[in-house]
Amino acid sequence: MWCAESAWQSVRVKVLVVEDDADLGYAVAAALRGAGLAVDLVGDIPAADEAVLINAYACVVFDRMLPAGDSVDYVAGRRRQGWTTPVLFLTARDSVADRVAGFEHGGDDYLVKPFAVAELVARVLSLGRRSLATGPPASPVLQVADLEIDVPRRQVRRGGVLLTLTAKEFAVLELLANHAGEVVSRTMLIEHCWDAMAEPMSNVVDVLVGQLRRKLGGPSLIQTVRGAGYVLAREDAGDRAYG
């Protein structure tokens, strides 16, 4: 029998929760993970902006009143730039005017606090299924040295040769390519390429980067910056570590 949870797990769908109340944020994230979703949790608009720039989310759950302002204004601005990810506003602002403003500024759903966890999960699943059905907008092909990353097709070529990467390896490479020439910390890789429950101090990043280097072949494009993280070089620079 088909069920929403198993379908979502099979495609590794991610949801972003933006909530500055730590206890509530953890509770919401736990409920969504319990429904089989991978969840990222952030507490303010700048962190949310960074997350949506890097990741393809099936749905974003926004508290309205955040430290940097009303998330309605942020969503409206992103909508004007062509951002189409479904948004659910989760807020204590319950007047008709507030709800109308949420929809008029780009919200797809609006749930007032206090709320039933089961209803929240059902609404997020519904929005996410809509997102999966329509698919995300195509992203440009990323080019770094002789490395070509076709994000919409999930394909990687080096020197014109098609490589076979796992979903996790592709996610790590895509993040590094989006920040080509910049140091990407292990913590950032954990936060954006693994479920938020992954342990930041574990060696899962180092192991995966080692696998990725072997698949990409030489000269190595991924450089280690001791004590900081990794950088995807814009030119072949050899396999060395920077100290």
The residue type of 59 is C
Tens of pLDDT along 85-126? Answer: 899 998 888 888 888 888 988 999 999 888 888 899 999 988
Write the CATH number of the domain with boundaries 4-134.
3.40.50.2300
- In the chain, where the domains are located: 4-134, 142-242
Q: How far is CA 48 from CA 18, 77, 226, 234, 235, in A?
A: 7, 13, 28, 27, 31
Q: Which two structure tokens, joined as six digits, stand for 208?
A: 């995966």
Q: Distance from CA of residue 59 to its chain's centroid?
A: 10
Tens of pLDDT along 151-200? Answer: 777 889 999 999 998 888 888 898 898 888 888 888 888 877 775 555 55
The predicted pLDDT at position 74 comes to 92
Tens of pLDDT along 10-69? Answer: 345 789 999 999 999 999 999 998 888 889 999 999 999 888 887 888 899 999 889 888
Query: Is the pLDDT confidence value at 131 over 80?
Result: no
The fold for domain 142-242 equals Arc Repressor Mutant, subunit A (1.10.10)
Query: Is the pLDDT confidence value at 81 over 70?
Result: yes
Residue that wins the pLDDT comparison between 235 and 149: 149
Per mean pLDDT, which range of 1-15, 98-112, 125-139, 222-236 is the poorest? 1-15
When pLDDT is averaged across residues 129-134 and rounded to a whole number, the result is 63
Q: Write a three-state SS string for 132-188.
A: HHHCCCCCCCEEECCEEEECCCCEEEECCEEECCCHHHHHHHHHHHHCCCCCECHHH
